[in-house]
Amino acid sequence: MTLQIELSGVNKYYGAFHALKNIDLAIEKGTFVALVGPSGCGKSTLLRSLAGLESISTGDLRIAGDLMTTVPPRKRDVAMVFQTYALYPHMTVEQNLTYSLRIRGASKAAMKKAAADVAATTGLSDLLGRYPRELSGGQRQRVAMSRAIIRNPKAFLFDEPLSNLDAALRVHMRKEIRMLHDRLGATSVYVTHDQIEAMTMADHVVVMRDGIIEQQGRPLDLYDRPANKFVAGFIGSPAMNFIPATVGSDGFSLVTHVGEPQTIVLDRALDPGRSVVAGLRPEHLTVVDGGGMFRFPVGIVETTGSATYISTATTPEITIVDTARRSIRTGDVIELTIRPSDVHVFDTKTGMRL
Amino acid sequence: MSNTMHNRLMLIIALILAAVYLFPLYWMYITALKTGSAMFATPPQFWPSDPQWQIYGDVWRSRNMGRYMVNSLVIAFGAVSLICVLGVGCAYVLARYRNVWVDIGLFLILMLQVLPASLMITPIFVGFSQIGLLASPRFAVILAIAAKSMPFFVVLVRATFMSVPQELEEAALVDGNSRIGAFWHIVLPLARNGILVSAILIFMQAFGEFVYSKSIIQAVELQPASVGLNSFMGPNTNEWNNIMAYATMYVTPILAIFVLLQRRIVSGLTSGALK
Amino acid sequence: MKRLLSSITDGKGFDILLVAFPLGYLFLMSGLPLLYNVLMSFQEVDMFSRGSFWRPFVGLKNYRDLFAMPETLPILYNTGIFVVASIAGQFLLGFGLALFFWTNFPGATWLRGLFLVSWVMPGLVVGAIWNWILSGDFGVLNFLLRETGIIDGNIFWRSDPDFSLWAVIIANIWLGMAFNMILLSVGLSAIPKDLYEAAELDGANAFQRFWTITLPMMRSTIGAIISLGLIFTLQQFDLFAAITSGGPNNSSNVTQYWAWDLSFRQYDFAKGATISVIMIIFVMFASVVYVRSTRHEVRG
């Protein structure tokens, strides 16, 4: 596989603010990469640096093997879909689509054919003569996508392109973007703050916080083996429960004092007496009728129909997702169990996975 | 009271207020049409019994107004062109960035906006005379008006540029355009209306400018209409009908433009002055 | 060279190029005259030395002479009255109108905009119209005041030293009132309607709502408008030229007219420059207040 985008030792400063800290990232041709993290984590800055809209302070950027660190955006041959779509309001859909071709001096006939071809694949054929203000949100989104596709660029850059759509359309467009990506054999970098979008769409997820890459890898690897407490809490919904605990004297168990003293069984040995944080995913906790690993008083019960969310009346609060319909009420005491292999353990001080 | 009744009552009060406020304008138009004796009648006539329509032609010819108006137009167009050429780019840069340098630039521009012309004319006149600019006085006035009005123009146009989303320009850059191309194809067309309205406001100001023209232009054949009106009004004049006819011909074009573009002018003005 | 070119097409060079020319122009045409003004105020400038830059320095003599003149203090006093009365009149009437038009009946926006004609007209024309309206024997204002019984005899607005300054103030209030009203309307419409609904539910009557919500919410707008009013009032020249020419006997003279009069009628450029320097410092102080009160809005 060839590398399509390569960042090595990239730093970005805004005055004294260190926005990107020593970023290393290699993106293979044909992959769909999601940059995900809370707002202000530097994911958008990183994407804009790829486009050339922000300059990199130190470090190198290569696109398709060519050094692009200081090359202006127009010479990078990347296409970008903006959060606000950035459709040119004074141009028709067709003019929006062919704008980049016009700048490159394409003939009128070539532009017309290219616009027709792209419009056919994205379902815009009937809208070519309209202005952006006459389109619905979903249609605008499609135009923004098509404007990128028509160029056949070295990479597609997406800056939270679905955040202005309603929930149903967002789920639909998620699939559509991924299908387009596969059909075009494109290389895509997709910024989102929504970890579900990242998990469902990407081949490779990059989790960022405060300008550094906390972890990157395949979506399920991030879910199964989060490198630290931050990634563990960020990936997965509802978020992972964190419980302070101490490694038991045998090394194969954790002792906690949430509610009453309880023991969590491990499938691996840790240093006895070490202070740690146990990470338990809500969907991995199972409610059992006796013989459970631990017991909690129930605080609040929320039902969605497909699942029941149970929050305990403890500090910290623990959330459990239960898919069997049980009649559990506030004030009940429930018994829970978890498979030892599903228990994540993090160091209390560093937050790193143990 | 029902809603429509209330609205109607408010509208009537508003019309009365407007009538009171605009009475001076009405008085200008009416006085111009009066005969010499009707003008000084007591009680004054609020509607001319014998309108003198030929007064406009008479005043236009006797005061040589054509020449004055041409000079006003030359000065106003010159100043507006110069201001647009220089000010648009400046406003764009001040709108696009937010840092200390932009703050300093903006502050300096706001400072220059407030300098009263009648106080600045002394050094400008002496300086211009020393470097020989008074030899072409209309050009000198254009330069001075441009310096006086450009800050205001920049403030107004900057507000227009701020309303153009920066993503559009970035999209154009990624689509393969240079900074110049993106500015020319994307930003300027979208800011066109705001720039036009600001230019019209500046034009109106320059069309009525008085201090610089009065001080710098000595030759009668180069003076604009404002100076012409000033020399028409001697200390003990009683030709008020003629003066008002002159004033009518001078301001009616401006008033017509204003009434036609009122909504845009008002919104352009308010977005710049407070934001 | 290539790097310079590419910076202009793709980088910061483009911005610097766009901003350098206008700022350079403003420096040449406004900045230098400003400095030259200060220089002249410390020099002896007469008909003979006007053509040369190297005129004899006289230190603070111009300033001492200026304040030794008998008319200086009355003119400064006039300026103060002119500024305070104009701003008060423009602001209060403008605020009243803005509140009236705030009720937003159909046609309100258009009618409100129409008031601004006074502001776009050439100042000299406004002056000419008011000169005629305020005329002593045949002025329509005197007629209306007599008919309504407010005065018994005619007021000679332009030639009576007690009224000449007020003649200009009346015209100036008419000229600037609409501008005040438009800006105040913008400020009023920016106040969220639900604040008033909340206050009404809390039991505040119309008067209390005005004092406890409208005025506090308008504070920065009012600050900006009053300092803008100060700036515009100190720029007002055309009305003096068109109505009283500062007379009779300086009774309606103000500094901005006097500075011009000294330079261009009496050819005393040094004193003209001196009074200009004093007033410009004052105006700049006002504009700092203006910039400060709009500062958070400037940053958008």
Could you please report the per-residue DSSP string of C138-160? T-HHHHHHHHTTS-SS---TTT-
User: What percent of chain A lies above the pLDDT cut of 70?
Assistant: 100
Considering the domain architecture, whether residues B239 and B270 belong to the same structural domain is answered as: yes
Q: Give the pLDDT confidence of B5-33 residue by residue, as tens digits.
A: 888 888 899 999 999 999 999 999 988 88
Considering the domain architecture, whether residues B49 and B65 belong to the same structural domain is answered as: no
Question: What pLDDT score was predicted for residue C125?
Answer: 94
Considering the domain architecture, whether residues B24 and B148 belong to the same structural domain is answered as: no
**Closest CA of chain B from C84, distance in Å:** 17
The encoded tokens of residue C283 equal 């105006």
The domain ranges of chain C are: 61-298
Chain A CB contacts of B178 under 8 Å are: 72, 74
Contact A147, A96 (CB under 8 A): yes
Question: What pLDDT score was predicted for residue B70?
Answer: 95
pLDDT bin (cut points 50, 70, 90) of residue C227 is confident
Half-sphere exposure of A1 (CA within 13 A, CB side): 10
pTM, two decimal places: 0.85
- Sheet containing A188-192, strands listed edge to edge, beginning at the edge strand earlier in sequence: A78-81, A155-159, A188-192, A32-36, A204-209, A212-217
Query: B-side interface with A, Cβ within 8 Å?
Result: 165, 167-168, 170-178, 181, 186, 189-190
Q: Give the pLDDT confidence of A179-206 residue by residue, as tens digits.
A: 999 999 889 999 999 999 999 999 999 9
- Any idea how long chain A is? 354
Stretch C127-135: mean pLDDT, rounded?
91
Radius of gyration of chain A (CA): 24
Inter-chain contact C105–B7, Cβ cutoff 8 Å?
Answer: yes
Question: What pLDDT score was predicted for residue B275?
Answer: 43
Q: How far is CA C26 from CA B87, B92, B140, B201, C12, in A?
A: 10, 16, 14, 20, 21
Considering the domain architecture, whether residues B249 and B190 belong to the same structural domain is answered as: yes
Question: What pLDDT score was predicted for residue B24?
Answer: 93
Among the partner residues B168, B173, B189, nearest to A53 by beta-carbon distance: B173
B187, closest residue in chain A (CA to CA): A88
| Lowest mean pLDDT across A115-129, B189-203, C279-293 | C279-293
Stretch B154-159: mean pLDDT, rounded?
88
Inter-chain contact C183–B43, Cβ cutoff 8 Å?
Answer: no
Per the structure, the complete domain to which residue B20 belongs is given by 3-53
Considering the domain architecture, whether residues B102 and B220 belong to the same structural domain is answered as: yes
User: What percent of chain C lies above the pLDDT cut of 70?
Assistant: 95
Inter-chain contact C11–A72, Cβ cutoff 8 Å?
Answer: yes
Among the partner residues B167, B170, B176, nearest to A100 by beta-carbon distance: B176
pLDDT bin (cut points 50, 70, 90) of residue C1 is low
Stretch A259-278: mean pLDDT, rounded?
88
Average pLDDT, chain A: 91
Domain-terminating residue out of B14, B37, B53: B53
Stretch B233-238: mean pLDDT, rounded?
77
Q: Give the pLDDT confidence of A147-179 residue by residue, as tens digits.
A: 999 988 999 999 999 988 888 889 999 999 999
Q: How many CB pairs under 8 A join B and C?
A: 296
Domains within chain A, CATH numbers bracketed: 3-234 (3.40.50.300), 241-347 (no CATH)
Contact A214, A36 (CB under 8 A): no
Question: What pLDDT score was predicted for residue C297?
Answer: 46
> How open is the CA angle A268-A271-A273, to the nearest 5 degrees?
120
| Mode of pairing for the β-strands spanning A78-81 and A204-209 | unpaired
Q: Is the pLDDT of residue A217 over 60?
A: yes
Tell which wins on pLDDT, B71 or B268.
B71
Considering the domain architecture, whether residues B179 and B235 belong to the same structural domain is answered as: yes
Considering the domain architecture, whether residues B10 and B69 belong to the same structural domain is answered as: no
Inter-chain contact B173–A82, Cβ cutoff 8 Å?
Answer: no
Chain C CB contacts of B250 under 8 Å are: 122, 125
Inter-chain contact C124–B210, Cβ cutoff 8 Å?
Answer: yes
Beta bridge pairs of residue C300: none
Kindly tell me the burial class for residue A202, based on how many C-beta atoms sit within 10 Å of its own C-beta (0-12, 13-18, 19 or more): buried
Contacts by residues A295-299 (CB-CB < 8 Å, ≥ 24 positions apart):
A295/A259, A295/A260, A295/A262, A295/A333, A295/A334, A295/A335, A295/A336, A296/A258, A296/A259, A296/A333, A296/A334, A296/A336, A297/A259, A297/A331, A297/A332, A297/A333, A298/A328, A298/A329, A298/A330, A298/A331, A298/A332, A298/A333, A298/A334, A299/A330
- Give dist(CA C154, CA B44) in Å, integer: 14
Question: What pLDDT score was predicted for residue C295?
Answer: 59
DSSP states of C75-112: HHHHHHHHHHHHHHHHHHHHHHHHHHHTT--TTHHHHH
Domain-terminating residue out of B14, B29, B53: B53
Q: Give the pLDDT confidence of B46-63 residue by residue, as tens digits.
A: 887 788 888 888 889 888
Question: What pLDDT score was predicted for residue C300?
Answer: 31
* Residue A99 contacts B where some CB pair is shorter than 8 Å: yes
Question: What pLDDT score was predicted for residue C266?
Answer: 87
| Mode of pairing for the β-strands spanning A188-192 and A32-36 | parallel
A50, closest residue in chain B (CA to CA): B174
DSSP B65: H
| Lowest mean pLDDT across A12-21, A51-60, B239-248, C285-294 | C285-294
Average pLDDT, chain C: 86
Number of domains in chain B: 2
- Superfamily of structural domain C61-298: MetI-like (1.10.3720.10)
**Residue written as token pair 């309108």:** B51
Inter-chain contact B173–A73, Cβ cutoff 8 Å?
Answer: yes
- Any idea how long chain C is? 300
